[in-house]
Amino acid sequence: MNLKKIISRMKHNPLKGSVKDKGIALILAVTSLLFMVYIAKEVSRDSLTEYVVNSHELNRLKAYYAARNGMDIALLRIKIFQQASRFPLPPAFAQEIDQIWKFPFAWPLPAPPEMNSVDRENMDKMMKESFMDATYTHTIEDEGSKIDVNDLISPSKTLREITKKQLLTIFERKVESDETFRQEYQNFRFDDLVNRIIDFMSEVNESAGGGGKQGFFTELGQGYPPNRGFRTLDEIRLIPGMSEEFFNILKDQITIYGMKSINPNTASENVLKSLDKGMTDEAVKEAIARRNDPELGGPFVGSKPEECLADFKKFVESRGARLEPEFDQIPMLCDKVINFRIRSTGIYGAGAHAIMKDITAIVVDLNKSAAQIKTFIDKEKEAANPNQNPNQPPGGSGPKSPPAAQTPLPKGSPRVVYWSEN
């Protein structure tokens, strides 16, 4: 066999080509398998991430709508209270209807310990049929009995003076009761601070403390002072001289949605203390204890503001309060709550994975607030013209005007003037 034939056979040897192809195929197979495993892993990870994100979003929606459901029920309770309070009720029963909005509410409904097993099973069945797998709670508080800072520019002189006095009393009591605060601020002019609050809202260019007011607000830039009432409580932080410490002292005692009166049956301890420098801690604590306990006398009563004031004043003076003459000018209402703060909290899940949503709303009865201001203005006019009977036409001695008809309750949900979601 010659050399050419041997080379020709080697060139067409099937074994040589088969080994080469098998090696390449193995490499391609392993590479393809690794590539598919990588793709499957990435797809699984993306799918898991998408699932977790969508699941959390769904849980947030459940928590949010649970809070909305709690808010809707709270608004319904206030509407029922508004309707019930318009009926002529005996004084004792009139206080009881406050429980329509006072008691806290939660879902699922808490079962009382004395409930029997049959009722408990029926209650559990009812809750399961509701398809509500989230929980919520809501509370309703009296917002109107706080100090309304916007009353510092009220058309009523009485409201302006009383509001300023209350704000100053808050700081004066803080100086007296807190040694650290007194050492730092005993020489601070809180009267100037309150004047700056008035200047922020007042439409006149003259400062409440005298002189021009523009110079106090130059650091805030153009557009200040805005010469209008506060729209949020946080705006009070802009007042020159208003430190965070001062704001924290005020924030739980003030509002911009007041009812132009103080209800001694719902006002907080600090608000009651701010009514007069002579109001002692013991008198306030006993007043709160009385209003919450029928055996101690129960809530303060009085169908008219002066009767409510007289009942409250008589009690605190009997407990050691030494009130100034100006105390008699404080507007009080014992049987009316017209402005409310609602906080509804929805929760879905448990433990570290629970999701919570808060909704806060403030309900205001603008008609009653306006009527209250008109009452003060009429009294001031009557005091300025004692010979003029406000119930008779000017210059005449005709019959008294009939009492005004009660304003119809607006249809639909109570008027919400503030809404915040967190």
Following DSSP, what letter does each residue of 258-304 receive, concatenated?
Answer: --SSB-TTT--HHHHHTT-TT--HHHHHHHHHHHT-GGGT-S---SS
Residue burial 69-100, b: 16+ Cβ < 10 Å; e: rest: bbbebbbebbbebbeebeeeeeeeebbebbeb
189, 314: one domain: yes
156, 126: one domain: no
316, 291: one domain: yes
Is residue 401, in this structure, part of any structural domain at all? Answer: no
The pLDDT value recorded for residue 389 is: 56
316 vs 285: CA distance, rounded Å: 10
Query: Domain containing 174: what range?
Result: 147-329
173, 271: one domain: yes
Is residue 398, in this structure, part of any structural domain at all? Answer: no
42, 176: one domain: no
Task: Quickly count: other Cβ atoms within 10 Å of residue 295's Cβ.
Answer: 6
64, 167: one domain: no
5, 88: one domain: yes
Q: Nearest CA to 214 among 199, 201, 229?
A: 199
Contact 263, 334 (CB under 8 A): yes
Residue 356, SS3? strand
295 vs 417: CA distance, rounded Å: 38
225, 172: one domain: yes
176, 265: one domain: yes
Element (H, E) at 68: helix 14-84
The pLDDT value recorded for residue 95 is: 67
Is residue 397, in this structure, part of any structural domain at all? Answer: no
Is residue 358, in this structure, part of any structural domain at all? Answer: yes
The pLDDT value recorded for residue 396 is: 45
Element (H, E) at 181: helix 179-185
Element (H, E) at 197: helix 190-201
The pLDDT value recorded for residue 96 is: 77
Residue after which a domain boundary falls, among 301, 329, 357: 329
422 vs 416: CA distance, rounded Å: 17
Contact 321, 333 (CB under 8 A): no
Residue after which a domain boundary falls, among 300, 329, 358: 329
Residue after which a domain boundary falls, among 329, 354, 377: 329
295, 351: one domain: no
**Number of separate domains in the chain:** 2
121, 176: one domain: no
Is residue 178, in this structure, part of any structural domain at all? Answer: yes
The pLDDT value recorded for residue 50 is: 83
Is residue 374, in this structure, part of any structural domain at all? Answer: yes
Is residue 399, in this structure, part of any structural domain at all? Answer: no
Per-position pLDDT tens, the chain of length 422:
566 766 666 555 555 555 555 678 778 888 888 888 888 888 888 888 887 778 888 899 999 999 999 999 999 999 999 888 888 777 667 667 888 998 889 988 777 777 788 887 887 787 777 778 899 999 999 898 899 999 999 888 888 999 999 999 999 999 998 999 999 999 999 999 999 999 999 999 999 988 999 999 999 988 899 999 999 999 999 999 999 999 999 999 999 998 888 889 888 899 999 999 899 999 999 999 998 888 888 889 887 888 899 999 999 999 999 999 889 888 888 877 889 999 999 999 887 788 999 999 999 988 777 777 787 788 778 877 776 654 554 444 445 555 455 677 778 889 999 999 98
Return the residue matching tokens 């977790």: 52
The pLDDT value recorded for residue 20 is: 53
Is residue 403, in this structure, part of any structural domain at all? Answer: no
161, 303: one domain: yes
Residue 105, C-beta contacts closer than 8 angstroms, at least 6 positions apart: 70, 73, 74, 77, 137, 138
The pLDDT value recorded for residue 397 is: 46
The pLDDT value recorded for residue 395 is: 44
Strand partners, 361: 342, 419
